[in-house]
Chains A and B, each alone.
Chain A
Amino acid sequence: MGDAVVQALRTALQVKDDPELRCALGDRLLQLGDKEGAVAEFDAALKLDPTNVRALEGLGKAVPVSRAPAPVASEGEVGGKPPLRLVTDEDEPPVASISFASVAGMEEPKQRLTRSFLLPLKNPAMVKQFGKAVSGGLLLYGPPGCGKTFLARALAGEIGARFINVGLNEVLDMWFGESERKLHELFENARRLAPTVLFFDEADALGQRRTQLRGSAGRNLVNQLLSELDGFAGKNEGVFFLAATNHPWDVDPALRRPGRFDRLIFIPPPDADARRALFRLKLEGRPVAAGLDEAHLVQKTEGFSGADIEGVVNAATELALEASVAAGEVVPVDDRLLLRALRDARPSTRPWFEVARNHAVYANEGGVYDELLAHLRSIGLA
């Protein structure tokens, strides 16, 4: 864009990233017909100041939003009720392509998952001989950013099943309107595509304790979920249920009864092997000095989540970039820069453990948090 005002505003933004300047640039780009550029500027302004009215108005002008209600019915409606929408071949989730071998370290959670989920599935006859049922789901819990979703995906890969991830976005969309129908549709799709792993991320959002919910929308959703899990609404053969949450104590106790999410598995922060693999993965494709002291880095990042390690690598990369600009040549990321980045970093998992400790120590009914308690003892918190 050769416009002088745009150039001047961009130069000013290089000196100071200011929401008002971004809005001015967005307005100018809108005048010039560059809607995409304008949206990017208004978006950036909102990141700096989420309540900036000028940016919101600009965004409204750049992206006119439909005021019509979302279409709920589709072609081929019968009897006034929309039919169940089945996913098309293009929509179908692929069979998970990763397996436990793709997950570095984390041997204990992997063993637990194998013991309580994979082995029964692979040896159903033997399990039945011992009087156990091959059913029920798993609830993975632990601090955020520690690989619960990745492990669930790997487990689906081990089973050779399709993986359907039901995240917060889908849950929020289910809250109002025809929530029961939407949830039933989700389960029907999973049943049709079996073998399938239906994975509920942030399970506490979908299955929150009904005592914490005001109003009927959330309660209806929990009731419908219980009914679908029990298979009242359709047979669940070949559909495996997995869920993950950072707040297992907020999950409705009815969801943890036999046949539902009856096994809780604690996923701790990445262990030494996992942290080493994470450092390698995050540093991939960046200029890195030869002979990094990985053992030292791993030792210094005890308790760090995957997201924390990514933060450290990003900070070290920024330092390397800064040094490269000053030196006029590429300065690779090395031990010194990584340790400098580590100096200001703290494990983000600590506040989670502080809260979790209260539940494990004071409300460990039936030993439900025994694994967590053992981990807390190992890190000196219990």
Chain B
Amino acid sequence: MTVERAAARAEAALRLARWDEAMRAAVELIAADPDDSTGFAMLSRAHLGKNEFKLAQKAAEDGLARTPNREWLHRLRCHALRLQGRYDDAVAAAEECVRLMPGASESHGARAKALAALGRREEAMAAYDRAIALDPHDALLHRELGDLLLSQAPAEAERHYRAALAINPSDAVTLNNFGASLARQKRPDEAALAFKSAILADPTLRVAKQNAHSTLSSQLGAAAGIGGALWIALQAVRVAGTVESGIAIGAMLLAGFAYLVWRLVQKIRRSERLEALKAKDQQLYEIFTRLEADKKAGRL
């Protein structure tokens, strides 16, 4: 196998998330030319894909031992360190990336992510702004900046999620986080639609399903707690046996009865809202009923 073919195979396997195949091709590349760091960079990427962060760090460092000024390897090392929770070291590695390639959006993006992990929010935002200025078409940068803004400025976050979705409309994580930004702005109808889109884009994304369920549940009203109402009524009857005043007993029984009626009304209203949801958005209704079943089965 030629060096070029091994490199092309490794790259293709990495893009297709075939990590083991990528590792094999990267190892062949290293065997073909141990002084070239490309194979080590690809090996590091494959380890990152398999969540083997220490091995990813080691591969990046092995590559850096051969070519100490390669920004790509510093960036991979930065990601591997951050994912191991070594945020200070990750920031230092990212700063080396920026020093080596100040015009690369990826360097600033890596630095921004490491700074955000370290809690240096203002610096992280500035780094993201710089990265986005260098490459406004990188959806991931917009999403990450949105994530950073979400808790304190949900409207700003929404703007960045929209920018990310304009570039990559089917990214499930962005759709979910976009929904979260809408929910924070008290726009539950729109949020539910965003969560639905996230679920359809990636049905394995558990957080989107949890978000959809909780948003729809609060819109529809909590399920009627008939059991709870009966418990209160029974408590009232039990207390009635120990209290002498007939008025107190009567008031307690009445309170229990009123609570029971209130819960029944809630249940009826919930059924009506569910019917309205079914008429308005059959797909969302079906997703909700499946989410309810999964919740009951402990799968959500």
Contacts and interface: CB of A to CB of B under 8 A. Distances in A.
A70 B2 contact: yes
A172 B21 contact: yes
B33 interface: yes
A49 to B, nearest CB: 10
Contacts of A111: none
B31 A176 contact: no
Contacts of A177: 8
Which size bracket describes the interface of B in this complex? 35 or more
Contact of B5 (A59, A60, A173, A211): A173
Nearest to B58: A51
| B interface majority secondary structure | helix
Contacts of A173: 5, 8-9
B150 interface: no
A67 B287 contact: no
Contact of B203 (A68, A168, A358): A358
B216 interface: no
A168 B21 contact: yes
B8 A175 contact: yes
13 contacts: A51-B27, A51-B59, A53-B62, A59-B31, A60-B33, A66-B2, A172-B12, A172-B13, A175-B12, A176-B8, A213-B15, A215-B15, A355-B204
A173 B25 CA distance: 11
Q: Taking chain A's interface residues, is the majority helix, strand, or loop, or is none over half, making it mixed?
A: helix
A177 B12 CA distance: 11
B276 to A, nearest CB: 22
A70 B290 contact: no
B18 A205 contact: yes
B168 A56 contact: no
Interface string A331-369: 000000000000000000000000100110111000000
Interface residues of A, number: 37
Interface of A: 46, 50-51, 53, 56-57, 59-60, 63, 65-70, 168, 171-173, 175-177, 205, 208, 211, 213-215, 217-218, 249, 355, 358-359, 361-363
A217 B33 CA distance: 25
Contacts of B31: 56-57, 59-60, 63, 65
Interface string B158-179: 0000000000111000000000
B21 A68 contact: no
Contacts of B6: 65
A215 B11 CA distance: 12
B3 A65 contact: yes
A173 B107 CA distance: 31
Contact of B2 (A51, A60, A67, A176): A67
Interface of B: 1-6, 8-9, 11-13, 15-16, 18, 21, 23, 25, 27-28, 30-34, 43, 55, 58-59, 62, 168-170, 199-200, 203-204, 209, 287, 290, 294
Given A57-B34, A67-B32, A218 B15 contact: yes
Contact of B290 (A46, A66, A214, A361): A361
Contacts of A66: 2-3
Of the candidates A56, A57, A171, A358, the one having the most CB atoms from chain B within 10 angstroms of its own CB is: A56
List 10 tightest A-B contacts by C-beta distance, closest first.
Answer: A175-B12, A358-B203, A65-B32, A362-B203, A176-B8, A59-B31, A56-B30, A358-B204, A172-B12, A56-B31
Contacts of A249: 203
Given A56-B31, A171-B12, 11 more contacts: A50-B43, A51-B43, A53-B34, A56-B30, A70-B2, A168-B18, A208-B16, A214-B15, A215-B15, A359-B204, A362-B209
Most buried by A among B15, B23, B170: B15
A53 to B, nearest CB: 6
Contacts of A60: 30-34
Considering residues B33, B58, B203, which has the most beta carbons from chain A within 10 angstroms of its beta carbon? B203
A345 to B, nearest CB: 22
B15 A362 contact: no
A211 to B, nearest CB: 5
A355 to B, nearest CB: 6
Contacts of B5: 70, 173
Contacts of A53: 30, 34, 62
Nearest to B168: A211
B199 A175 contact: no
A57 B287 CA distance: 55
A82 to B, nearest CB: 17
Contact of A70 (B4, B27, B28, B55): B4
A176 B11 contact: yes
Nearest to B1: A65
Contact of A211 (B13, B43, B59, B170): B170
Contact of A67 (B18, B33, B200, B209): B33
A68 B3 CA distance: 8
